[in-house]
Amino acid sequence: MNRPELADKRESVLIAGRELAKAILQQWQRVWMAPLNLEEQRRLDALQGAWTNFEREAAACGIDVELTFDTRLLRPPVPKVPDLAKMRRAHGVLEWNLLSLGLAQRRGQKNTEPDGGFWATAGPGI
């Protein structure tokens, strides 16, 4: 490519990026107004996915996206890696001890066998 074509392509990529960034920020406003609306959240996810594709295209054209755009809200969130220690703290000591002994499955089961307790002597009428 010669210089004018490269400059034209770079400018068209920048214009497309500005439009995409504007659409993402408008979608963020819609999500903030209705945070439980899953349809709006899916639209935001799709736009943020398009942003990652735009970043690849901009890098191919030699555009530094970090300097040109504020990417904090434009990129999709980084998925969290599960932390085993935090999961252990969430369950508690008793549950982890029962899990380690293999008793956790039996803890939720009821004993339905007649044991001759207090209600066994009450008779059939109660």
Q: Contact, 31 vs 41, CB < 8 A?
A: yes
Residue with the larger pLDDT of the pair 83 and 7: 7
Predicted local confidence at residue 92, as pLDDT: 65
> What confidence tens digit (pLDDT) does each residue in 22-72 have?
999 999 999 999 888 899 999 999 999 999 999 999 999 889 999 988 888
Whole-model pTM over 0.85: no
CA-to-CA dists, residue 17 to 1, 7, 10, 77, angstroms: 22, 15, 10, 19
- The number of beta carbons lying within 10 Å of the beta carbon of residue 70 is 9
DSSP E strand boundaries for 6-121: none
Which whole-number Å values give the CA distances from 19 to 5, 13, 24, 111, in the listed order? Answer: 21, 10, 9, 65
- Residue 71 three-state SS: coil
